[in-house]
Amino acid sequence: MLIGLNRLKKIIDDTIEGETGIIHNKCIDCGFPVEVEVHKTSGGFGLLRGVLYEVKDRVYAKCLDCCKNNPKLNHEFESQEAANL
């Protein structure tokens, strides 16, 4: 599922200036490095350069190109994660 607001808030709270957080990760679809910026906005939080997902307390990133092809987190991925618990 998409990352929750509480998790986004924690990412922001963990930054020094409390404004912009950057998540370095590998895209779960293509495997290339992706940096997703998390910003505070008037309505909550905004993401740039990618999308973040949260599965069982772990955060995963997907690059914008892969999001265009498939905006959802892969179902196989979610069930695989669940099976590893």
For Zn ion, the closer of residues 18 and 71 by Cβ is 71
Least spacing, CB of residue 61 vs Zn ion, in Å: 9
| Strands (E) located in 1-85 | 20-26, 33-41, 44-48, 50-55, 58-63
Kindly tell me which residue out of 52, 61, 66, 73 binds Zn ion, with binding defined by CB under 5 A: 66
41: nearest Cα among 19, 10, 11: 19
- Binding residues for Zn ion restricted to 21-50, rule: CB under 5 A: 27, 29-30
Strand pairing partners for 48? 37
Which residues form the interface with Zn ion (CB under 5 A)?
A: 27, 29-30, 63, 66
